[in-house]
């Protein structure tokens, strides 16, 4: 008997890799020509419902990417950000990935959940994350970290007891970038 065939596969995705990959793939749906962001919300806690402990670990309960509001045609909306007229920029219109993941949630209650997001959350998304009851955030990229919006997010997350950490790509066996290039 070939004993090798009885062994489980070794190079499978970790949960962190799996959920961040979902967020990264979701970002590819974005029409934003400059920055594409994806977010994935995961059930991360066993919860007490009535007399039972519901094992709700590691189920995806919301996905989103940055885009224009429903009903506002992508072709009619401005996608630039440098016009003198702010009404002619995306800034006032785009729904951020984090917000979309939260409003797209498929369960009534996302308290205690974890969000995987490809970019550090802005202050407005931080507020929505906090109000939704999400308790943990994992982000992929922090290129916007120097901005006041991100500093305000950090301040609010600290105050609200939300943990936020950078996705650790060095400690993992599989590079998500290579997954993307295989598509």
Ligand X SMILES: Nc1ccn([C@H]2C[C@H](O)[C@@H](COP(=O)(O)O)O2)c(=O)n1
Q: Catalytic residue numbers?
A: 98
With beta carbons less than 8 A apart as the criterion, state whether 164 and 137 touch.
Answer: yes
Q: What is the DSSP letter of 52?
A: E
| CB of residue 44 to ligand X, shortest distance in Å | 20
| CB of residue 37 to ligand X, shortest distance in Å | 4
Question: Which of 82/171 has CB closer to ligand X?
Answer: 82
Residue 159 is encoded by which pair of tokens?
């105050």
Residue 125 annotated as binding site: yes
| CB of residue 2 to ligand X, shortest distance in Å | 49
Per CB under 5 A, 102 contacts Zn ion: no
**Going along the chain, which residue ranges are E strands?**
38-43, 47-49, 52-54, 59-65, 114-119, 136-141, 163-166
Count of residues touching Zn ion (by CB under 5 A): 3
Per CB under 6 A, 97 contacts ligand X: yes
Binding Zn ion (rule: CB under 5 A), the pick from 23, 125, 129, 176 is 125
Site for ligand X in 159-178 (CB under 6 A): none
Residue 179 is encoded by which pair of tokens?
């997954």
Q: How far apart are the first and last CA of the chain?
A: 36
Sequence-ordered list of residues with C-beta below 8 angstroms from that of 38, at least 6 positions apart, any chain? 22, 23, 24, 25, 26, 27, 28, 29, 30, 63, 64, 65, 97, 117, 118
Per CB under 5 A, 27 contacts Zn ion: no
Binding-site annotation: residue ranges for Zn(2+): 96, 122, 125
Q: Given the rule CB under 6 A, which residues bind ligand X?
A: 32, 34-35, 37, 66, 81, 90, 94, 96-98, 119, 121-122, 125
Binding-site annotation: residue ranges: 96, 122, 125
């Amino acid at each position: 008997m070939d004993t090798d065939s009885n062994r489980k596969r070794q190079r499978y995705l970790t949960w962190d890799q799996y959920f961040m990959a979902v967020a990264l793939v979701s970002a590819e749906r974005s029409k934003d020509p400059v920055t594409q962001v994806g977010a994935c919300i995961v059930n991360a806690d066993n919860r007490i419902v009535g007399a039972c402990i519901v094992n709700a670990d590691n189920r995806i309960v919301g996905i989103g990417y940055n885009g224009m509001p429903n009903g506002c045609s992508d072709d009619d909306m401005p996608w630039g950000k440098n016009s003198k007229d702010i009404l002619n920029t995306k800034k006032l219109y785009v729904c951020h990935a984090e917000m979309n993941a939260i409003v797209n949630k498929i369960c009534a209650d996302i308290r205690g959940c974890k969000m995987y997001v490809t970019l550090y959350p802005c202050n407005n998304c931080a507020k929505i994350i906090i109000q939704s009851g999400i308790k943990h955030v994992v982000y992929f990229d922090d290129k916007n970290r120097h901005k006041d919006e991100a500093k305000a997010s950090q301040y609010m997350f600290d105050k609200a007891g939300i943990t936020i950490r950078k996705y650790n790509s060095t400690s993992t066996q599989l590079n998500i970038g290579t997954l993307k290039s295989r598509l």
